[in-house]
Amino acid sequence: MLPIFRASLPFTLALAVISFATFYFLPSLGLPQAVYVVIGVLLAGICVPILVDVKSAPKQAKNIAAAQAYTGETTTLYVGNLPYRANEDAVRDLFQGYGIVINVRLMKDRQTGRRRGFGFVEVAQKDGAKMIAKLNDFNFLERTLKVREAKERQENEDNQE
């Protein structure tokens, strides 16, 4: 189940029950109970995901503003075993739940343009250890992530010949 629907399911059910109760006690319509249930579920299924999305928008804007204003030390985390369908926004949203995210880079194959299943997330240094502890071996889109501090790229010494 998608996270947005998992988060909105209790609200959907509550709105469906409220809609059912409201329409059921209206004496002027006189429709069967099944129709009231269908109306309640349809209203809830349309309204709740929209309301949940609108509710989460200010939080995302706040996180982006915090990342742009951050001027302290940063660290880069290696994220391996990423699902191929994951994009930068999905990875950013996951990591922003645990701290300030500065930049997300997912590696792609040069020839095919497909994602290679790993990437790098630049984060505030104070949040790096917490993110590693929380997100290493975390199940993300049916894959178990491997999160570690990134190593510096080593220069090739083949040019000395």
pLDDT at residue 75 is higher than 80: yes
How large is the average pLDDT for residues 1-21?
66
Q: What is the pLDDT of residue 17?
A: 74
| Predicted TM-score (pTM) above 0.85 | no
Q: Bridge partners of 104?
A: 121
Neighbour count for residue 117 (Cβ, 10 Å): 15
Domains and CATH numbers, the chain: 3-60 (no CATH), 70-149 (3.30.70.330)
Distance (Å, whole) CA 70 – CA 38 = 49
User: Residue 161's pLDDT band (boundaries 50, 70, 90)?
Assistant: very low
